[in-house]
Amino acid sequence: MHPITPPLQPILPILLCCDMDRTLIPNGVQPESPEARPRLRALCAHPQIHLVMVTGRHIDLVLEAMTYWDLPHPDFIIGDVGTSVYIPDERTNTWSIWPSWEAEIGPAWNGMTHADIIDLFADIAAITPQGRDRQGVFKASFFTDTAVNTEVLEAELTRRLWTLGIDARLVWSEDEAAGTGLLDVLPANASKLHAIEFLSYQRGYTPDRTVFAGDSGNDLEVLGSHINAVLVANAPAQVRAQACAAVVAAGAEKSLYIAQGGLFGMNGNYSAGVLEGLAHFLPETQPWMQL
Ligand SMILES: [Mg+2]
């Protein structure tokens, strides 16, 4: 006797926004369940599931990773930590910058781009520009000297930016493996969160049908927001604690789901966690994850 499969219910459009590294891509130390990406690909084949890659990566490295890891084809790409949004160009079968997003964040930089900012800081020895594949139109990225006093340096950088009428956000981080500091200079209003909100609203997705998935510090702003979000099970304990504290502070506890494994016997890491979170917020999607 075979169990009777219930008929699949139609689903309304869903905007599924996913971080890439260690969220969709299993490039962390924890194992990936073998069925995770096949089930994700099965789900994303549904015409109403609209996938968005949300990443710090430049578009070339997004496309490279999609091929290498056999990821489903997205409908939109939010790249360069939220400073660029790409939409498919059906005529040429390539990706194009979405002008609406540039019009939203560009004014903060007063007509200037990353090249102007690299020129502006050219004489400052404590920071040196990263390679071309790390730069975006609205993202200027530098290596920094870890020995330098970042408060003093930030004051000088900010002073120079203001003289040109540039309203920027400075994001400092560290590449521990390489022993170097990193600095991203971004338009003040450009972030993963703002890009997701803008895309969702402009393209007519209701808040209850927009879901985000992430794993690390640069996903915290979205994980802690009112947007329905899933933290994959492989996320570091510190990120889990910070995400929980953020939703409590915002009174948005219901909008965060922490994957723990169990869906279809999978472990909740990477794509399995994405699917588990989506099934939590929008249970009608679960039958479409069948292989
Ligand atoms: Mg990540």
First to last CA, the chain: 20
Q: How many CB atoms lie within 10 A of CB 255?
A: 19
Give distance in angstroms: CA of 127 to centre of ligand 1.
25
pTM of the model: 0.91
Give distance in angstroms: CA of 215 to centre of ligand 1.
5
Give distance in angstroms: CA of 273 to centre of ligand 1.
13
Q: Which domains does the chain have, with CATH numbers?
A: 14-83+190-289 (3.40.50.1000), 104-187 (3.90.1070.10)
Give distance in angstroms: CA of 25 to centre of ligand 1.
8
Count, residues in the chain: 291
How do residues 245-288 score in pLDDT, each as one tens digit? Answer: 999 999 999 999 999 999 999 999 999 999 999 999 999 999 99
Report helix, strand or coil for 238. helix
Distance CA 174, CA 177 (A): 9
Give distance in angstroms: CA of 186 to centre of ligand 1.
19
- Which residues are CB-contacts of 162 (< 8 A; sequence separation ≥ 6)? none
Give distance in angstroms: CA of 242 to centre of ligand 1.
15
- Judge whether 269 and 236 are in contact, CB under 8 Å: no
Give distance in angstroms: CA of 164 to centre of ligand 1.
33
User: Which whole number is the average pLDDT over 169-189?
Assistant: 89
How do residues 4-33 score in pLDDT, each as one tens digit? Answer: 665 667 789 999 999 999 999 999 999 999
Q: What is the pLDDT of residue 9?
A: 73
Distance CA 256, CA 241 (A): 12
Give distance in angstroms: CA of 3 to centre of ligand 1.
39
pLDDT at 154 over 90: yes
Distance CA 101, CA 98 (A): 6
Query: What string of DSSP letters covers 167-210?
Result: -EEEEEEEETTTTEEEEEEEETT--HHHHHHHHHHHTT--GGGE
Give distance in angstroms: CA of 208 to centre of ligand 1.
23
User: Which whole number is the average pLDDT over 139-166?
Assistant: 94
Give distance in angstroms: CA of 71 to centre of ligand 1.
15
pLDDT at 1 over 60: no
User: Which whole number is the average pLDDT over 50-55?
Assistant: 97
Q: What is the pLDDT of residue 175?
A: 80
Residue 9 burial (C-beta neighbours within 10 Å; 0-12, 13-18, 19+): exposed
Distance CA 289, CA 283 (A): 11
Give distance in angstroms: CA of 223 to centre of ligand 1.
12
Give distance in angstroms: CA of 28 to centre of ligand 1.
9
